Amino acid sequence: MIDIKLLRENPDLVKENIKKKFQDKKLVLVDEVLDLDKKNRAAITEVEALRAKRTKLSKQIGALMGQGKKDEAEAVRKESTEIGEKITALEGEQEMLQSEIRTRMMTIPNIIDDSVPIGKDDSENVEVERFGEPKVPDFDIPYHIDIMESFSGIDLDSARRVAGNGFYYLQGDIARLHSAILAYARDFMIGRGFTYCVPPFMIRSQVVEGVMSFAEMDAMMYKIEGEDLFLIGTSEHSMIGKFIDQIIPEDNLPYTLTSYSPCFRKEKGAHGLEERGVYRIHQFEKQEMIVICKPEDSMMWYNKLWQNTVDLFRTMDIPVRTLECCSGDLADLKVKSCDVEAWSPRQKKYFEVGSCSTLGDAQARRLKIRVAGKDGKKYFAHTLNNTVVAPPRMLIAFLENNLQADGTVRIPKVLQSYMGGQTVLTPTKK
């Protein structure tokens, strides 16, 4: 959510930003907010004037009563009561106007960074840099589910009977590898100075509205029936929510946190969930990184965050690239975002395994996360998030890039201690 002062002072900038995101249907919201804001400020001014008048009348009542002029005092008291009724009505109007303004402000997209490429959708995202040499072996690489099944490592049929499509049972070495990658990612981030957290896996609607757009909420979040609770789609949601309504001493910044959680997503709008794949699913686990910082430090942290993911994947010999998200592919709260994509030797292309974003002060403004500066002034913090690793999607990249011609899977040195010293996984099926 942008600052309403920016919209008042530079509505053309806000409109131009909407056009850059190819959301022209939202242009009308700018003028609607300006009109509602004008009415709201007029109501505030009128209420203040009426309160001042009522205070003056109250003093007159006392003076008249002291002079024994009861009839005159009663007339003034009646006028004061009528003013009170007007104030109550105006306050109700103000509440309605402020609600209408907030609803529209929550829908107007955040101002994107000048460096963001302009494009309509993800097909116009821009490759930034590659890390590691993508290779295609001289043997055929099976589909990732077939690789997992060769280790008796996945059971999709049972999962469908229990929960439907988009769920899975991992088992044996594949399940252990899944947990090993998460544990390694946790320790990797701790080694980079991040504080490890396990957050609540459910959050209230106030937090949901603070961390994402209405469109994202509808497409992603599972609601707990009969409760003001939602299952989180990523630990970023509850980790940012941790600071709701807080005033943070400037000396405490930055907060650098890495959090583990299961993630639950409806995947509404997806083109159907693959029955045999685990690329797009309703439930998965993830290690995340979150930063709360001063505004002037947010771009520095943005670059550090995506680099952490690149470095993690490279320690496991997985080639990756960074892809700058264009304006039309940015969620409404995001200022700038890039995807980290891993190389798929089977598909001979890269695919997304993580996303890094800076949201400016949009989440902080919604959740009232403020910083107390050394000069005594308060300002909104900046928030950032990035995926460290998200199996089982990451397992696809891992298995394809470490598969050997004989069907075994090589375990990189950094994971061997998490796998009980194993250096290779051997199939249980031919």
Using 50, 70 and 90 to split pLDDT, how confident is the model at 135? very high
In Å, how far are 147, 168, 172, 228, 400 from 141, measured between CA atoms? 8, 22, 21, 46, 7
Q: Is the pLDDT of residue 208 over 80?
A: yes
Q: How many CB atoms lie within 10 A of CB 348?
A: 10
Q: Are 253 and 383 in contact (CB under 8 A)?
A: no
Using 50, 70 and 90 to split pLDDT, how confident is the model at 7? very high
Using 50, 70 and 90 to split pLDDT, how confident is the model at 163? very high
Q: Is the pLDDT of residue 230 over 90?
A: yes
Per-residue confidence (pLDDT) for residue 103, from 0 to 100:
93
Q: Is the pLDDT of residue 417 over 70?
A: yes
Q: Which of 13, 73, 281, 328 is nearest to 169 (CA)?
A: 281
pLDDT, averaged across the chain: 94
Decide the pairing of beta strands 195-197 and 336-344. unpaired
E strand spans, 33-186: 126-131, 154-155, 169-170
Domain spans in the chain, listed from the N-terminal domain onward? 4-105, 122-425
Per-residue confidence (pLDDT) for residue 353, from 0 to 100:
95
Using 50, 70 and 90 to split pLDDT, how confident is the model at 268? low
CA distance 100 to 35: 11
CA distance 134 to 261: 31
User: Is 122-425 a CATH 3.40.50.720 domain?
Assistant: no
In Å, how far are 57, 65, 78 from 68, measured between CA atoms? 16, 5, 17
Per-residue confidence (pLDDT) for residue 273, from 0 to 100:
52
CATH value of 4-105 in 1.10.287.40, 3.40.50.720, 1.10.10.10, 1.10.1740.10: 1.10.287.40
In Å, how far are 165, 278, 329 from 170, measured between CA atoms? 15, 11, 32
Tell which wins on pLDDT, 215 or 329: 329
Pull the structure tokens for residue 189: 């981030």
- 3 state DSSP class of 175: helix
